[in-house]
C-alpha cells in the first residue's frame, strides 16, 4: 500500500504548474476575547462544555469560569497561484493564566486544473457545517462530528456542486497499550469524501450533501484489526437574513471526530448516531440570534452491563444573541441546557446529570 501512496503523491505533484516566484502577500486577522460562564453543575471542561460530569444525586456543584483562551491569531498568505492559512488559539494544555498556543490551521492550496489541492492541517471534509454558538465547541459531542487534522484534499467546488476526497492522519487511541497509536499501526491513512449539490431550481440558497470516512486500525500486540467509520448528511439554506443548518450522522469509534460523546474506541466498535439543527436570524445589521440543539446516542448493545459510567446519551438546547456594539467589538450571550446520561452509574450518582449554562463573551476583531 505504501508504494501506491507514494505514486499518488508524485502524480498529484506532477499536475501542479510551475511558474516564476512572486512576492508573498500576508493578511493578518484575529480577535481578542474574554469568556465568562456560570454552570449549575460541573461541565466537561469549565471554560467550555461538551457534556456534563457525573456527580452524586442532588449534590451538583455550581462553577464559574473566566478565560481569554479563545483569543485567536491567524494569517492568510498568497504567492502566485498558492494560497495558505495559519491560525492558532490558546487552548494548549497550560495553567489558566499562562496559556499556550494550540495550532488550528496550517495548510496551503494550489489549483490543479479544475480542482484544488489542499495540504496541511484543516477541517475534515465530512460533516462540514457548524452551528453559531458562544460556547467554544460547536456542539461537538452532542451530534456534530468533524474536527481538524493533518490531511491532503483534492476537491472541486462550482456554483452547482462540490466533490472531494481526502487522505488524513488516522488519529485514534492505543487499545493494546503498546505505545503505538492503532491508527498509525495500520500503515495507511484514513479516507474521507463528500458530494454536495445546490439545486437552485428548487430553492435558491439550498445545498444538500452526503459524506463519509473510513479508517483502519491495528493492535500489533494482539494482532487485531478494527476500524472507525461514518456516514453523514448535511443541509444548508441561506437567504439575506436567515440561515438554516442541519446535519445527521451514523458511525463507529468516532471519539477523534467529536462523535460517540468522546468515549474511547472499542475493537468491536462503539456505534452511535447523532445530529443537530441551527436557525440563525439577522434581526438588523448589528444583531444576530442563533437557536438550536443537538443529540448524540451511543448504542446500548455496545456498552456492556459490566461497564460503569460510560456516556450513553448527550443532548443540548441553546439560544444565543450576538450584538455588535462598535465596528470592531461584538458581545455575545448564550443560555444552554445540557443533559448527559450515563450507563450503569455509580451507586448514589445521578443517572442523567443536567447543567444550565449561562455564558457571556466580548470579542474585539482585527
CATH number of the domain within which 323 lies: 2.40.160
In a domain, 297, yes or no: yes
Residue among 136, 82, 148 at smallest CA distance from 109? 82
Domain assignment present for residue 165? The answer is yes
Residue 157 resides in a domain = yes
**What DSSP string runs through 331-361?**
EEEEEEEEEEEEESPPTTB-SS-EEEEEEEE
Does some domain include residue 92? Answer: no
**Residues whose CB falls within 8 Å of the CB of residue 112, separated by 6 or more in sequence, listed in order:** 12, 15, 16, 154
Give residue 337's domain range: 2-17+46-66+124-365
Task: List 164's β-bridge partners, or say none.
Answer: 155, 194
Nearest CA-CA partner of 123 in 101, 151, 143: 151
Would you say the pTM of this structure is higher than 0.75? yes
The pLDDT profile of the chain, 366 residues, written as one tens digit per residue, is 455 655 655 555 555 555 545 689 999 999 999 999 999 999 999 999 999 999 999 899 999 999 999 999 999 999 999 999 999 999 999 999 999 999 999 999 999 999 999 999 999 999 999 999 999 999 999 999 999 999 999 999 999 999 999 999 999 999 988 899 999 999 999 999 999 999 978 889 999 999 999 999 999 877 899 999 999 999 999 999 999 999 999 999 999 999 999 999 999 999 999 999 999 999 999 999 999 999 999 999 998 766 778 999 999 999 999 999 999 999 999 999 999 999 988 888 899 999 999 999 999 999
Q: How far apart are CA 38 and CA 361, in angstroms?
A: 12
Look at residue 35 and tell me if it is in a domain: no
List the end-to-end C-alpha distance of the chain, in Å, as a whole number. Answer: 46
Instruction: Answer for the pair 81, 111: CB distance below 8 angstroms, yes or no.
Output: yes
Residue 239, phi then psi, degrees to nearest 5: -125, -170
- Which residue, 22, 256, 7, is CA-closest to 124? 256
The three cell numbers of residue 101 are 498556543
3-state DSSP assignment of residue 260: helix
Q: How would you write 28-42 as a 3-class SS string? A: EEEEEEEEEEEECCC
| Residue 322: inside a domain | yes
Query: What is the DSSP secondary structure assignment for residue 150, as one 8-state letter?
Result: E
Distance CA 245, CA 234 (A): 8
Of 220, 219, 214, 217, nearest in space to 193 by CA: 214
Please check whether residue 51 lies inside any domain of the structure.
yes
Can you list the positions of beta strands (E) in 169-253? 190-197, 206-219, 224-238, 242-252
> Do the domain assignments include residue 98?
no
Only one residue has cell 466580548, namely 362
State how many domains the chain has.
1
Amino acid at each position: 500500500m505504501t508504494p501506491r501512496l507514494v505514486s499518488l503523491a508524485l502524480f498529484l505533484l506532477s499536475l501542479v504548474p510551475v511558474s516564476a516566484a512572486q512576492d508573498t502577500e500576508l493578511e493578518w486577522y484575529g480577535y481578542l476575547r474574554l469568556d465568562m460562564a456560570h454552570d449549575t453543575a460541573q461541565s466537561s471542561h469549565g471554560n467550555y462544555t461538551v457534556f456534563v460530569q457525573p456527580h452524586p444525586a442532588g449534590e451538583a456543584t455550581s462553577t464559574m469560569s473566566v478565560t481569554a483562551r479563545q483569543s485567536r491569531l491567524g494569517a492568510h498568505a498568497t504567492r502566485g497561484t498558492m494560497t495558505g492559512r495559519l491560525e492558532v488559539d490558546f487552548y494548549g494544555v497550560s495553567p489558566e493564566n499562562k496559556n499556550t498556543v494550540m495550532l488550528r490551521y496550517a495548510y496551503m492550496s494550489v489549483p490543479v486544473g479544475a480542482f484544488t489541492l489542499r495540504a496541511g492541517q484543516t477541517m475534515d471534509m465530512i460533516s462540514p457545517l457548524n452551528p453559531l454558538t458562544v460556547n467554544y465547541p460547536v456542539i461537538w459531542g452532542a451530534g456534530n462530528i468533524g474536527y481538524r487534522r493533518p490531511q491532503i484534499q483534492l476537491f472541486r467546488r462550482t456554483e452547482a456542486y462540490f466533490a472531494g476526497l481526502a487522505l488524513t492522519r488516522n488519529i485514534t487511541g492505543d487499545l493494546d497499550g503498546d505505545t503505538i497509536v492503532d491508527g498509525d499501526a495500520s500503515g495507511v491513512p484514513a479516507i474521507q469524501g463528500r458530494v454536495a449539490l445546490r439545486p437552485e431550481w428548487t430553492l435558491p440558497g439550498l445545498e444538500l450533501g452526503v459524506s463519509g470516512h473510513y479508517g483502519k486500525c491495528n493492535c500489533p500486540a494482539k494482532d487485531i484489526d478494527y476500524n472507525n467509520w461514518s456516514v453523514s448528511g448535511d443541509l444548508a439554506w441561506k437567504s439575506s437574513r436567515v440561515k438554516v443548518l442541519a446535519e445527521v450522522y451514523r458511525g463507529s469509534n468516532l471519539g477523534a471526530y467529536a462523535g460517540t460523546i468522546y468515549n474511547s474506541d472499542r475493537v468491536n466498535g462503539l456505534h452511535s448516531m447523532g445530529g443537530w439543527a441551527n436557525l440563525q436570524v439577522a434581526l438588523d445589521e448589528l444583531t444576530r440570534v442563533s437557536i438550536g440543539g443537538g443529540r448524540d446516542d451511543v448504542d446500548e448493545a455496545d456498552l456492556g452491563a459490566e461497564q460503569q459510567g460510560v456516556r450513553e446519551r448527550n443532548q443540548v438546547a441553546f439560544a444565543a444573541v450576538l450584538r455588535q456594539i462598535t465596528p470592531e467589538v461584538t458581545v455575545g450571550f448564550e443560555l444552554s441546557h445540557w443533559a448527559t446520561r450515563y450507563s450503569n452509574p455509580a451507586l448514589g450518582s445521578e443517572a442523567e446529570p443536567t447543567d444550565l449554562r449561562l455564558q457571556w463573551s466580548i470579542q474585539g476583531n482585527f
